[in-house]
């Protein structure tokens, strides 16, 4: 068999990242990307072992932020922007979790999609 040369894993150094938070009533998903959109890390309440209705709690969302902040340490991240989406209760908890870990948050953005006119209303009820 031919000897296969191993390629070295490149250590990335990133100063600023963007955290995309999708918070629903049932779960909180957080994806950390570079400014250009390359995914570095991602996590959710379910991945950390929370089950059922506990996934949608602010405590679970704070734990997601704390674990991601710990995983971001080797990348050398100092500042971050946060894009929040959805109506869930974990939105503010994620921000507090990132701030508590010593990251500098520059922008808080709400990117929840809102309908301009929405779907057609149901017909009038006849009694």
Is 0.85 topped by the overall pTM? no
* 6, pLDDT greater than 70: yes
Domains within the chain, CATH numbers bracketed: 16-110 (3.30.420.80)
Average pLDDT over residues 24-43: 94
Q: pLDDT tens-digit profile of 34-56?
A: 999 999 999 999 999 999 999 99
Helices (H), the chain: 58-71, 91-100
Q: Specify the long-range contacts of residues 31-40, CB closer than 8 Å, at least 24 apart.
A: 32/68, 32/72, 32/80, 40/12, 40/14, 40/72, 40/75
pLDDT score for 12: 80
Q: pLDDT tens-digit profile of 7-16?
A: 777 778 888 9
β partners of residue 32: 19, 41
Average pLDDT over residues 96-120: 93
């Amino acid at each position: 068999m031919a000897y296969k040369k191993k390629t070295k894993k490149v250590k990335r150094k990133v100063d600023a990242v963007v955290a995309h938070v999708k918070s629903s009533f049932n779960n909180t998903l957080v994806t950390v990307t570079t400014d250009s959109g390359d995914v570095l890390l991602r996590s959710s309440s379910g991945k950390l072992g929370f089950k059922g209705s506990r996934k949608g709690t602010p405590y679970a969302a704070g734990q997601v932020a704390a674990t991601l902040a710990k995983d971001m340490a080797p990348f050398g991240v100092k500042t971050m922007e946060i894009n929040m989406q959805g109506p869930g209760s974990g939105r503010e908890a994620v921000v507090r979790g990132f701030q508590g870990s010593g990251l500098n948050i520059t922008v808080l953005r709400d990117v929840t999609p809102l309908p301009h006119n929405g779907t057609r209303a149901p017909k009038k009820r006849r009694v």
